[in-house]
Amino acid sequence: MNSIHFNGKILDFSTPKVMGILNCTSDSFFDGGKFFSESAALQQAEKMLIEGADIIDVGGMSTRPGAEPVSSNEEIKRIEPVIAGLRREFPGIFISADTFRVEVAQVALDAGADIVNDISGGELDKDMFTFIAKRKVPYILMHMQGTPRNMQINPTYEHVVSEIFQYFIQKVRLLKSMGIEEVIIDPGFGFGKTIAHNFELLNQLEVFSILEKPVLAGLSRKSMLYKTIGGGPEEALSATAAVHMVALEKGAGILRVHDVKEAKDVIKIFSAINAVH
């Protein structure tokens, strides 16, 4: 699938796209609290759009390892005004709502979001697929073992790549049977995976292209990087650029990032390399 269609708009994956992360939270692992107010969130979104973001992904609950969930009402209170503000200020942009709750997704779509980005692949709210089918919006299907609270306690697989691939085959088949075709695949780096699991997934990312859906890579400043190089997420920008290039070479269609300009630069270099015959 080379494009996603929604709300009369087309997202074309003939060149890779950048999804800018907008955390309207107080406790996200890298930028928690920075964009907690509506004005700060809109300012950051504008910066990302100027730098070339193709999608703004708005989230109201941290899903870092060990994170405590917030109520649906609190999640809605955080993201509804930001999504409405984005739609008002930048009417033509693509907005995704990062939530696994139908109740929150409904409010987000009504406020102007185009896409639902569900870290749980429909596992944490069993009504999600039915809701997506009803609303006919694109859906980001992610793999996660466990929940954010417990996913990193002891993630275990016999064969991580083949198990996650089988998970996607089953989920995509189910979604298709419900009339849901506009699906983006996210292997879920860091969500119930060890560092070794994450690098194995990255090394075989091209496998997921067999599903004929755009593949999203969420690698930005994650612990698999900063624990490997030493330091914290603040020191992981160059490592992020390195794995972004690998992800693109292995077929990723979307990079989900904190640092839009740097991701766009990686795509420019990737495109220049591939333009040489």
Give the whole-angstrom CA distance, residue 227 versus residue 160. Answer: 20
Pairing type for strands 9-12 and 17-23 reads: unpaired
Whether 222 is catalytic is yes
Residue 149 annotated as catalytic: no
Residue pair 174/133 in contact by the 8 Å Cβ criterion = no
Q: Which of 256, 261, 264, 268 is catalytic?
A: 256
Strand, helix or coil at 150?
Answer: coil
How far apart, in Å, are the Cα atoms of 275 and each of 3, 201, 267, 269, 270?
21, 27, 12, 10, 9
- Outline where the chain has alpha helix (H): 38-50, 72-89, 102-111, 128-135, 160-177, 195-203, 223-229, 237-249, 260-275
Q: Give the helix ranges, DSSP H, for 24-71.
A: 38-50
Q: Which one is catalytic: 221, 222, 250, 264?
A: 222
Q: How far is CA 33 from CA 90, 178, 270, in A?
A: 23, 38, 33
b/e 181-195 (16+ beta carbons within 10 angstroms → b) = ebbbbbbbbbbbbbe
Instruction: Give catalytic residue positions.
Output: 222, 256
